[in-house]
């Protein structure tokens, strides 16, 4: 097991990678705890949950809206959870997002923690304290920064994931390698079969490497005013695809990374060889999907991106495998590159 510490503004959050998730019973308060989970996770693991009130939501992005948060808050009141209460989210990124968001506003703020049950959540969503819900078609526009007390990442839980969900998480793992850890990229590149077999020992190592990198970034820049922006690599195009094509998050980000790598190549930031290695790895894990968004729709969707500032946006390029850079460029340039790249295909 690997314990990773995230320090932000005097707050310490602990990430336990490789811990048996059932050990969470020893980490939560003796009273005043409620669990938030989704229906699918509860069916698989619910009989082994700690003996506390369990609040279920529907799985998927549909649940990331204020009416769901309001309903959960009402149920917390009915369960007797007060200002000394504690929320434990057991599930993937949606469950962790909602748990953290609700914990930040319920009774003006109570403590929370997560058991991450998906690869996407273990390598990305549960670390860093960003929580949000969607407003209409705008993703995560209502949100906050709320650090969890702890996160448990048990790779054994990944055995129960549908393959599409597992591969969706691989996209975020590959993203971390591209922007910050060339060694992680090499390991993923050379261990396809073992990764696809979901070997717990290898996954523990890969998840630890990803979380260690993200923890170092978040500890330096919790509120995303500088360095942390690199974690959005692939997300500008990815969020547009996620909304327009209804792709799973990981597949949308993978397509966004393909475009961002092409953009980086066009600007001379990376070599043809580096570009081709990245695209080959995304293809190897079957993460790329065909997509064609009308020019006017791309512009409209990117205008909703939280990273924009006026008519400009903080766009993440790569300067080689393992190194990313953020540059403020006109939104029109981002949209035009999408048009050009699709015109070539």
**Domain 163-344: assigned CATH number:** 1.20.1090.10
- Tell me the two tokens of residue 254: 């993978």
Q: Does residue 125 carry a pLDDT above 70?
A: no
Domain boundaries, the chain: 2-160, 163-344
pLDDT tens for each residue of 16-46: 999 999 999 999 999 999 999 999 999 999 9
Distance between CA atoms of residues 285 and 232, nearest Å: 20
Average pLDDT of the chain is 93
CATH architecture for the domain at 2-160: 3-Layer(aba) Sandwich (3.40)
Angle (CA) 301 304 305, round 5°:
100
Residue 277's pLDDT is what? 98
- Max CA separation in the chain (angstroms): 60
Residue 124 has pLDDT above 80, yes or no: yes
Q: Which of 70-84, 162-176, 202-216, 304-318 has the lowest mean pLDDT?
A: 304-318
Tell me, what's the pLDDT at 106? 97
pLDDT on residue 319: 96
Query: In this structure, are residues 106 and 85 in contact, taking their beta carbons and an 8 Å threshold?
Result: yes
Same fold, 2-160 and 163-344: no
Which percentage of the chain shows pLDDT scores above 90?
75
Class of residue 304 by CB neighbours under 10 A (exposed 0-12, middle 13-18, buried 19+): middle
Q: pLDDT tens, 157-212?
A: 999 999 999 999 999 999 999 999 999 999 999 999 999 999 999 999 999 999 99
* 342 has pLDDT over 80: no
What is the H or E stretch that residue 54 is in?
strand 54-57
pLDDT of residue 345: 66
Percent of the chain with pLDDT over 70: 98
DSSP 292: -
Pairing of strands 130-135, 150-153: unpaired
- Per-residue model confidence (pLDDT) at position 204: 97
Confidence of residue 306 (pLDDT cuts 50, 70, 90): low
53 dihedral zone (left: phi>0; alpha: psi -120 to 50; beta): beta
Top-confidence residue, 310 or 181: 181
- CA nearest neighbour of 152 among 203, 91, 221: 91
């Amino acid at each position: 097991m690997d314990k990773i510490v995230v320090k932000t503004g005097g707050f310490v959050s602990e990430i336990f990678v490789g811990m048996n998730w059932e050990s969470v019973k020893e980490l939560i308060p003796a009273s005043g705890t409620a669990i938030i989970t989704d229906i699918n996770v509860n069916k698989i693991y619910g009989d082994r949950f700690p003996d506390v009130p369990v609040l279920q939501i529907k799985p998927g992005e549909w649940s990331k809206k204020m009416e769901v948060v309001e309903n959960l808050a009402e149920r917390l009141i009915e369960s007797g959870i007060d200002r000394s209460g504690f929320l434990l989210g057991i599930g993937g990124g949606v469950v962790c997002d909602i748990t953290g968001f609700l914990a930040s506003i319920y009774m003006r703020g109570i403590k929370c923690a997560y058991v991450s049950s998906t690869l996407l959540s273990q390598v990305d969503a549960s670390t860093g304290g960003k929580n949000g819900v969607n407003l209409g078609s705008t993703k995560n526009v209502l949100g906050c920064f709320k650090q969890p007390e702890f996160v448990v990442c048990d790779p054994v839980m990944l055995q129960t994931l549908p393959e599409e969900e597992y591969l969706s998480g691989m996209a975020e793992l590959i993203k971390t390698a591209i922007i910050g850890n060339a060694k992680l990229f090499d390991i993923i590149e050379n261990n396809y079969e073992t990764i696809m077999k979901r070997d717990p020992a290898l996954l523990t190592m890969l998840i630890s490497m990803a979380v260690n990198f993200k923890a170092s970034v978040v500890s330096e820049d919790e509120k995303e005013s500088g360095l942390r922006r690199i974690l959005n690599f692939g997300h500008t195009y990815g969020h547009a695809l996620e909304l327009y094509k209804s792709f799973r998050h990981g597949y949308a980000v993978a397509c966004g990374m393909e475009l961002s790598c092409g953009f980086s190549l066009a600007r001379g930031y990376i070599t043809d060889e580096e570009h081709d290695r990245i695209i080959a790895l995304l293809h190897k894990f079957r993460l790329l999907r065909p997509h064609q968004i009308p020019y006017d729709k791309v512009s409209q969707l990117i205008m909703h991106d939280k990273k924009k500032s006026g008519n400009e946006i903080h766009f993440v390029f790569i300067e080689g495998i393992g190194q990313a850079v953020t540059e403020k460029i006109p939104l029109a340039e981002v949209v035009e590159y999408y048009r050009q790249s699709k015109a070539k295909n």
